[in-house]
Structure 1
Amino acid sequence: MTEFLGPSLALDTTDVLGTQSAPELWIVIVTGVAAMLAVVPRSIWRLSRNAITIAHEGGHGLIALVTGRRLQSIRLHSDTSGLTVSRGRPTGLGMILTAAAGYTAAPLLGLGGAALLSSHRITLLLWLATALLLVMLLMVRNAYGIFTVLLTGAAFLLVSWLTGPDVQSVFAYAVVWFLLLGGVRPAFELQAKRRHGDAGDSDADQLGRLTHVPPILWLLFFHAVSICSLIGGGRWLLAV
């Protein structure tokens, strides 16, 4: 008698750590255009910006932990704002790095993702993103935040687990393009808010108080990181 074991759900580490075939150049370009369409139109951006907020607040939280601060909570709101609370010294390098991590998180994650895709490690990228979202979920303390992180994490998990290499490739390239392109817009939005006096307690202003460096220079730093990440990451993505 033959014993039927059904499909195996075990994850082979060689699949995660191994390499996968790169998509054709036209697919890379199409995913980039799709990501741009999720960033540029204001009506769509109101929704898609939630993903950038997850990266922003996740950046604050991750660096808080890395620098030895106690991460208390993360909140994500329906207006795409967020709040990360950590405990520790109110000044010093750890607090500076934590405050600087928000606006730089999405573009740097996009740059790291582009580096992984340029080395054809598509599956590894998807599972790393899923793991980061699951860890972040443990620290989210409001219903809307839990919903958005769960929804995003579920999308990564389903694509990673249930789809084939072609779908995974398209999804991964679209996500990385979105992080790179979407990581540029928030700094310009912050610049506009500061021009109208609506961002007195922004990350740039907090960094200005912490470092005695004018907030405008921190804003320029955010611009530099996001634009350089887009240029560098875009070159990696297009060099298939």
Structure 2
Amino acid sequence: MEATSFAEVWQDVFSVQPDPPQWLVIATGAATLVVVLVGGRPWRLARNVVTIAHEGGHALVALLSGRQLTGVRLHSDTSGVTVSRGRPDGIGMILTILAGYTAPSVVGLAGIVLLTNGRITALLWISILLLAAMLLLIRNFYGVLSVVGTGAMVFLVSWFTPAGVQGFFAYLFTWFMLFASVRPVFELQSQRRRQPSPHSDADQLDRLTGVPGTVWVLFFGLFDIAVVALGIWLLMFRP
């Protein structure tokens, strides 16, 4: 980014960039799908971004539903916890818990809306602002490290790289949020089978609604897969 004044920065951020070539859209989608499916160290590292979105979803809906947000913790095993105060039951609590496993795919879909309107730089800077807001809620060192590291990477790309690199990174990020939203749902059910815990999102929803936890896991999975299908259509097949 070559802007030297606030007005120029603002103009650059919200300017419309040309659509990237179709091969780049396909290549970034294929690359992120491989990372999600194969797993290993790249997935474990990138999964921290999914955790940030997951806990950010809890935090945002908690605030919107009138709950008092205490803080967010992110852990090195890619788990996290969002603590809020308020009624221990009711629609606000249900929606707060429901937001976690649906948030990453919603973030991906929001990214697609920006990308299909040519707002590549805007996507990157909105991500930076959201990460800065998330940082204010973090209550542990690893969480700070994770959020600051992610934000620094996005800033460096948005400020120091040409439009082509920004486009590549933006599509890579958006595809990843879409595809990566599904795998944690399978991990959740696998963990529920191996080590049942009353603290998982699905089991908390079970206690709050009387609907079995497995049904909530199925809902998470169907919701995220539906958003992935919509995202693929918007990026690949929409005229």
AA matched with 2:4 = S
Matches of 1:178 and 1:45, distance apart in 2:
10
Matches of 2:82 and 2:5, distance apart in 1:
35
Q: CA deviation at 1:9?
A: 4.8
Matches of 1:150 and 1:38, distance apart in 2:
23
Q: CA deviation at 1:230?
A: 0.7
Q: CA deviation at 1:15?
A: 2.6
Indicate the larger mover: 9-18 or 57-66: 9-18
Matches of 1:206 and 1:9, distance apart in 2:
49
In the TM superposition, 1:34-183 aligns within 5 A as 34-43=31-40, 44-183=42-181
Matches of 2:175 and 2:5, distance apart in 1:
30
Instruction: Work out whether residues 32 and 177 of structure 1, in 8 Å CA contact, stay in contact via their aligned partners in 2.
Output: yes
**3-state secondary structure, aligned to 2:139:** coil
Matches of 2:46 and 2:195, distance apart in 1:
25
AA matched with 1:8 = T
**3-state secondary structure, aligned to 1:40:** helix
Matches of 2:216 and 2:9, distance apart in 1:
44
Does residue 219 of the first structure (1) align with residue 183 of the second (2)? Answer: no
Q: CA deviation at 1:225?
A: 1.3
> In structure 1, which of residues 8, 18, 22 is the aligned counterpart of residue 4 of structure 2?
8
Q: Deviations over 1:155-180 (max 9, x none)?
A: 11111222221111100000000000
Q: CA deviation at 1:239?
A: 4.0
Q: Deviations over 1:25-59 (max 9, x none)?
A: 10011111221232122312222211111111111
**Which residue does 2:19 correspond to in 1?**
22
The runs of 5 or more residues in structure 1 that have no matched partner are 1-5
Indicate the larger mover: 209-218 or 137-146: 209-218
The runs of 5 or more residues in structure 2 that have no matched partner are none
RMSD over equivalenced CA pairs, Å? 1.6
TM-score by length of 2: 0.93
Instruction: Work out whether residues 3 and 9 of structure 2, in 8 Å CA contact, stay in contact via their aligned partners in 1.
Output: no
Matches of 1:207 and 1:229, distance apart in 2:
21
Matches of 1:9 and 1:170, distance apart in 2:
26
**3-state secondary structure, aligned to 2:4:** coil
Q: CA deviation at 1:144?
A: 0.6
AA matched with 2:114 = L
Report runs of 4+ in structure 1 exceeding 4 Å deviation: none
Matches of 2:70 and 2:5, distance apart in 1:
35
Matches of 2:214 and 2:34, distance apart in 1:
29
Identity %: 51
**3-state secondary structure, aligned to 2:83:** strand
Q: Deviations over 1:184-230 (max 9, x none)?
A: 10001111112224343210110111111111221111011110111
**Which residue does 2:190 correspond to in 1?**
192
**3-state secondary structure, aligned to 1:54:** helix
**3-state secondary structure, aligned to 1:96:** helix
Q: CA deviation at 1:68?
A: 1.2
Q: How many residues align?
A: 235
Q: CA deviation at 1:120?
A: 1.5
